[in-house]
Amino acid sequence: MLNNTVSLLSWDQETYMPEAAVDYRAEMMSFHTMRSHRLVKSKEMFHWLAAAEDDIKTKKELRNLEELRYSVDRACCIPQKLVKEESLLIPRAKASWVKARAQGDFLLFVQDLEKIIKISRQKAECWGYDQEPYDALLGTYERDVSSVQLDKMFARLKPKIEVIAQQAVTKSSSNKLQKLPGKYPVHEQQRFNESVARSIGFDYQRGRIDSTAHPFCTRLGPKDIRLTTRYDESDFTSSLFGVLHEAGHGLYEQGLPVEDFGLPSGAAVSLGIHESQSRLWENHVGRSLSFWQKWFPTACECFPALRKVQFDDFMQYIWRAKYSSIRVESDEVTYDLHILLRFKIERALINGELKVNDIDAYWNESFEKSFGFKPKNAAQGCLQDIHWSMGLFGYFATYTLGNLNAAQLFQQAIKDKTIAKEVNLAEYGGLLQWLKKEVHQHGCLLSPNRLMAQATGSKTEETAYLKHLNLRYSRGL
Amino acid sequence: MLNNTVSLLSWDQETYMPEAAVDYRAEMMSFHTMRSHRLVKSKEMFHWLAAAEDDIKTKKELRNLEELRYSVDRACCIPQKLVKEESLLIPRAKASWVKARAQGDFLLFVQDLEKIIKISRQKAECWGYDQEPYDALLGTYERDVSSVQLDKMFARLKPKIEVIAQQAVTKSSSNKLQKLPGKYPVHEQQRFNESVARSIGFDYQRGRIDSTAHPFCTRLGPKDIRLTTRYDESDFTSSLFGVLHEAGHGLYEQGLPVEDFGLPSGAAVSLGIHESQSRLWENHVGRSLSFWQKWFPTACECFPALRKVQFDDFMQYIWRAKYSSIRVESDEVTYDLHILLRFKIERALINGELKVNDIDAYWNESFEKSFGFKPKNAAQGCLQDIHWSMGLFGYFATYTLGNLNAAQLFQQAIKDKTIAKEVNLAEYGGLLQWLKKEVHQHGCLLSPNRLMAQATGSKTEETAYLKHLNLRYSRGL
């Protein structure tokens, strides 16, 4: 209840809260966060858990208790003082990040970022790790991988993605349609997005879509899933892909067993699996030919400006690739290059190999090596993402894990002939049922690797993803 | 913090929450309500209050502690069990009321209403009273009056209002404009309402306006005041008067001393005073000739449909009076007749003189005596208001007290020549400053009667209000 209260306070802050309310909101969030932490660390919790562990009757109870024990043990490692310090620092750090980004001045963010990294390193020490501090932070989001494993996997991926990206960028530069013509009014986008979201199975009785600066998905209760997107009146696909991405998260949350809400068996297992659901609906579904064969005519009805556009040109526009400085605006094929950069930098920061003062220069230099140019300023560079201001170190890598998992799951799902046939007609009922059965319904009962192995025959690998990128971006299928 | 959390949970429920989330939301609200009640009743609170009372240094501290002591004592009277029972019953009762109203079937609501009345009577017994149980409930909203006093005041008011109403209704029936022509799109109404709300001083940095089935105003933090309204595309004045009314509440909340937030000196004193602020801006400002002399041209710019309407006809439309069954749709002059009816019925219910099963028939009979006809069905009769389903017995009378206070305060304010001159030009900066000084800034430090006496020279009386109604509705000024 306390954690869901914090989620509502946070959702409201991002969507509707008046500007001047921010200080008191930070106090309220800290108040509930502290109490939640205090309860988890309480003697009662200790006794309840011990008593339950002495009385395990089913495999499900065993797994639930293992996961609860893991969370409780992790919470118990962190002193109350540190929780308080962090919960009060983050709203301030977020504010200084917003200011620094608006002015493109990294120096305005340096002090708070240093404090956040210090707290993150302290937390890593509290939790402990085998090889390096960054491992401990990764464990918050993804427990089945170590930094070294990720590093090796990313090292294998990088040159292959660079080749595909290079070809795709060159090909896109000669696209007939470089920009959509005309204007796409927000309320028409909302209508169109709602039709799409409903058609892939998002349940509006148990959810809604609002508008925010940064799209996200959050769960405020067993039957209360909130998505957000943002609108660009010159391009309706921007808000649509936001909705498809967040609805992917939302379908996962809506697919978790409602009766297990509050238990590990009723919660999402990891960010790498969560992101697989969002990327699957955004890219494998939403950027597919068959999806647009169905939805392009409807889009033309909603948006008169689109009627001038040829379908083939539109698809090339959807599949365009371009080296750009901003991660969230980047295309499917260059996306992971952004992630790989962040993984390298934040790992070095947490492991004490890079100083906060050197981030800006190091970012620009590394970015140039991958993308061939330097960001215009820090707002287009190391200040672009909100994550660090919120203390979310270890989070970025899960985006690429999500891409790998998405491809692997999707390719497995369409091995079923009925699902494949439906997907070709842009009908996704069977696909959603398959995802519910293989992913959603397990909650945390299967670890990410077990889940992937059970669903697809192997744990997370890069093969399926590279095959997908190659088909769509090298061979243009 | 806990009470503000409950307010946010409730605001979200009314504005944006998905339908299926209601059960868990009720649990969350009950969880925080119970904890708040437990804290107020705790030993720590007892010791802190006692220690503070031993160490009073200023008159303000004295008044704050007197008010805190009153609230704590009242909370301590109620057993935890009753708080739990009530907090879990209300969401269910609200749901059964919604259903009963939709089907116009009072029987669907009878069981829950009986439970709510039982709880309300138990609370009255816990709190104690001098003359009758209803007095104890009145005290939640208005401490300076007793049921007998109100009854006498209402008995004096009733025949006078009935005469004015009769004349006004007859006059209105020959109005040229019985209905606004054309359509008034919601987003244009929102733009117009926002201009008006800003111009009277509502601060959007510290507040916002949303849309709900029933307009309300709530405070979620020292700088976070949320208003709501509802839209009728055939009449833009419906949402506008909603906004003016709620903004009146909002200006009061925004005018309370921010640094005293959480203390009685930073909180609104009573509903009768609160309602005086909303009714002042809605009726004395928003239904005045000078207001429309300024805003009618802007309204015509926003709403092409209005351009066909003559200004004089529009003013007669604004001032129309009609006997109607629904309180919230009624005009300024018949409004109190609705209140007087509810006061009589709920007083009888709480004092045990009327049975729940007899409400419907008793309502219709009493209504006919005042209004000359019977409501079509229970949805138009005793099921129309949400209050009883939420356990808000003792609340209705404060609407009429608010009308009396509004007239008394407004007439006092415009005795100041500068304010009167500004108001005649539809400029309200001076009026708002006066209200801040005489009403808002005091928080709970002055009792309603003290506040009214200090601001206007006498406690709440009916003279100013009757003068206002007479001027506007008998003499048409």
Contacts of A224 in chain B (CB under 8 A): 17-18, 20-21, 24-25
Q: Cα(first)–Cα(last) distance of chain B, in Å?
A: 47
Yes or no: say if B62 and B54 are a contact pair by the CB < 8 Å rule: no
Residues 6+ apart with CB under 8 A from B73: none
The predicted pLDDT at position B475 comes to 67
Alpha helix locations (H) across B78-146?
80-103, 107-127, 133-141
A332-390 tens-digit pLDDT = 999 999 999 999 999 999 999 999 999 999 999 999 999 999 999 999 999 999 999 99
Yes or no: say if A282 and A245 are a contact pair by the CB < 8 Å rule: yes
DSSP A377: S
CA distance A215 to A201: 19
The predicted pLDDT at position A72 comes to 94
Count the Cβ atoms, other than its own, within 10 Å of residue A222.
22
Q: How many helical (H) and strand (E) elements, i.e. helices and strands, does chain A have?
A: 20, 3
CA-CA-CA-CA torsion sign (B348, B349, B353, B356): positive
Chain B nearest CA to A442, separation (Å): 22
Yes or no: say if B438 and B134 are a contact pair by the CB < 8 Å rule: no
* DSSP states of A145-162: --HHHHHHHHHHHHHHHH
Rounded to the nearest 5 percent, the helix, strand and coil shares of chain B are 70, 5, 25
The predicted pLDDT at position A95 comes to 87
Are A18 and B223 a contacting pair at CB < 8 A?
A: yes
Closest by alpha carbon to B271, among B293, B300, B289, B248? Answer: B248
**CA A209 from centroid of its chain's CA atoms:** 17
Residues 6+ apart with CB under 8 A from B284: B406, B407, B410, B468
Q: How many helical (H) and strand (E) elements, i.e. helices and strands, does chain B have?
A: 20, 3
Minimal Cα distance from B224: which residue of A?
Answer: A21
Contacts of A203 in chain B (CB under 8 A): 20
Note if A246 is an active site residue. yes
Closest by alpha carbon to B93, among B110, B105, B78, B81? Answer: B110
Q: Which residue has the higher pLDDT, A311 or B214?
A: A311
Are B223 and A16 a contacting pair at CB < 8 A?
A: no
CA distance A177 to A319: 11
Of B18, B25, B210, the CB nearest to A206: B18
Contacts of B1 in chain A (CB under 8 A): 27-28, 31-32
**Strand pairing category for A217-221 and B207-211:** unpaired
Residues 6+ apart with CB under 8 A from B454: B438, B446
The residue of B15, B16, B254 whose CB has the most chain A CBs within 10 angstroms, and thus the best one to mutate to test that interface, is B16
Catalytic residue selected from A246, A275, A332, A462: A246
Contacts of B31 in chain A (CB under 8 A): 1
Catalytic residue selected from B142, B246, B346, B438: B246
Burial class (CB in 10 A: 0-12, 13-18, 19+), B351: middle
ipTM of the complex: 0.93
pLDDT band at A475 (very low <50, low <70, confident <90, very high): low
Closest by alpha carbon to B92, among B33, B141, B37, B29? Answer: B29
Q: Which residue has the tokens 């290059």?
A: A337
Of B21, B210, B221, the CB nearest to A21: B221
Rounded to the nearest 5 percent, the helix, strand and coil shares of chain A are 70, 5, 25
Query: Would you write out chain B's pLDDT as a tens digit for each of its 477 residues?
Result: 999 999 999 999 999 999 999 999 999 999 999 999 999 999 999 999 999 999 999 999 999 999 999 999 999 999 999 999 998 899 889 889 999 999 999 999 999 999 999 999 999 999 999 999 999 999 999 988 999 999 999 999 999 999 999 999 999 999 999 999 999 999 999 999 999 999 999 999 999 999 988 899 999 999 999 999 999 999 999 999 999 999 999 999 999 999 999 999 999 999 999 999 999 999 999 999 999 999 999 999 999 999 999 999 999 999 999 999 999 889 999 999 999 999 999 999 999 999 999 999 999 999 999 999 999 999 999 999 999 999 999 999 999 999 999 999 999 999 999 999 999 999 999 999 999 999 999 999 999 999 999 999 999 999 999 999 999 997 655
The predicted pLDDT at position A477 comes to 53
Q: Cα(first)–Cα(last) distance of chain A, in Å?
A: 47
Rounded to 10 degrees, what is the CA torsion of B183, B184, B187, B193?
180
pLDDT band at A88 (very low <50, low <70, confident <90, very high): confident
Question: How much is the average pLDDT of A1-12?
Answer: 97
CA distance A307 to A180: 11
CA distance A229 to A282: 13
Burial class (CB in 10 A: 0-12, 13-18, 19+), B105: middle
Of A32, A206, A210, the CB nearest to B20: A206
> Which residues partner with B217 through β-bridges?
B227
Contacts of A210 in chain B (CB under 8 A): 16
CA distance A95 to A26: 11
CA distance A362 to A349: 11
For A280, phi then psi, to 5°, come to -60, -50
> Which residues partner with B221 through β-bridges?
B224
